[in-house]
Amino acid sequence: MTPMVQAEQVCKNFGALQVLKGITLQVERGQVLCLVGPSGSGKSTFLRCINHLEQVNAGRLYVDGELVGYAERNGKLYELHPRVAARQRRDIGMVFQHFNLFPHRTALENVIEAPVHVKRVPKDKAVRHARELLDRVGLADKADAYPAQLSGGQQQRVAIARALAMEPKLMLFDEPTSALDPELVGEVLRVMRELAREGMTMVVVTHEMGFAREVADQLVFMDGGVVVEAGDPRAVLSNPRHERTQAFLSKLL
């Protein structure tokens, strides 16, 4: 079967700074891949390349067998029109570190925004689905609350419901718990565990090693824009082979 995500020698520069230096990996359908590593290692940049929020400078990225952000003709890559790239992005849900909810819209209104205006779903149908999703993330009673009335953990769960409202084939999480108070982390991880159990393909940038050990099918340790070590999360976490991985994990575990 075609992998859900396939990266082939992906490189990304910001000016003279080379942030990604040839990332090659793949994520099968229904798998959870956790990306870990120090700040500045390129994890979030790679995540943003998967849905073409960042353009790659070299290499290729495929989602569900489709080249992301580019068309290939005669061995050359041509960037897609922004409207076409945005259409690809509709199938990829993304949850950011800082929620990014519309502050002037209720939880329900945040969730229905994209289905109504991007996918042209009838509003009554979008509202029904949004209420189901809010119930799924444990916030059925917060549909009419504004973001300022919600805790960080509740806002992040609304953000997850908003991403799910587009019925994505792939979910990307960029350190979804790092901005939360410690006591609120568990409620977000619970929702992510449930998604994993239901077979959602997920790529997660995280420092939550317990979550990675329990839920992930693959753990990838990145540093300096390269994949240093990858494998079964339990094996990597309990017996890392690379000295750099050992040094990083010794500060977390």
Q: pLDDT digit string (tens) for 74-114?
A: 888 899 998 898 888 999 999 999 889 999 999 999 999 99
- Of the candidates 212, 174, 230, the one whose C-alpha atom is nearest the C-alpha of residue 49 is 174
**Predicted confidence (pLDDT) at residue 191 exceeds the cutoff of 90:** yes
Arithmetic mean of pLDDT over the chain = 95
Q: Report how far residue 98's alpha carbon sits from residue 176's, in angstroms, rounded to the nearest whole number.
A: 8
Model pLDDT for residues 34-51, shown as the tens digit of each residue: 999 999 999 999 999 999
Taking the alpha carbons at both ends of the chain, their separation in whole angstroms is 36
The token duo for 50 is 């998967």
Contact present, 95 and 174 (Cβ < 8 Å): yes
Mean pLDDT of 13-35: 96
Q: Which amino acid is at 1?
A: M
**Predicted confidence (pLDDT) at residue 182 exceeds the cutoff of 90:** no
Model pLDDT for residues 57-69, shown as the tens digit of each residue: 999 999 999 999 9
User: Can you give the pLDDT at residue 75?
Assistant: 83
- Reported as a pLDDT band with limits 50, 70 and 90, residue 211 is very high
Q: Which amino acid is at 187?
A: E
Indicate the SS3 state at residue 64.
coil
Mean pLDDT of 119-131: 96
pTM over 0.85: yes
Mean pLDDT of 162-181: 95
- Reported as a pLDDT band with limits 50, 70 and 90, residue 3 is very high
User: Can you give the pLDDT at residue 17?
Assistant: 95
User: Can you give the pLDDT at residue 200?
Assistant: 97
- Of the candidates 49, 44, 46, 4, the one whose C-alpha atom is nearest the C-alpha of residue 27 is 4
User: Can you give the pLDDT at residue 63?
Assistant: 96
Alpha carbon of 163 to those of 92, 156, 172, 237, 251: distances in Å? 8, 11, 9, 30, 33
Contact present, 162 and 110 (Cβ < 8 Å): yes
- Of the candidates 210, 193, 192, 216, the one whose C-alpha atom is nearest the C-alpha of residue 252 is 210
Helix (H) or strand (E) holding 78, with range, is: strand 76-79
**Predicted confidence (pLDDT) at residue 230 exceeds the cutoff of 90:** yes
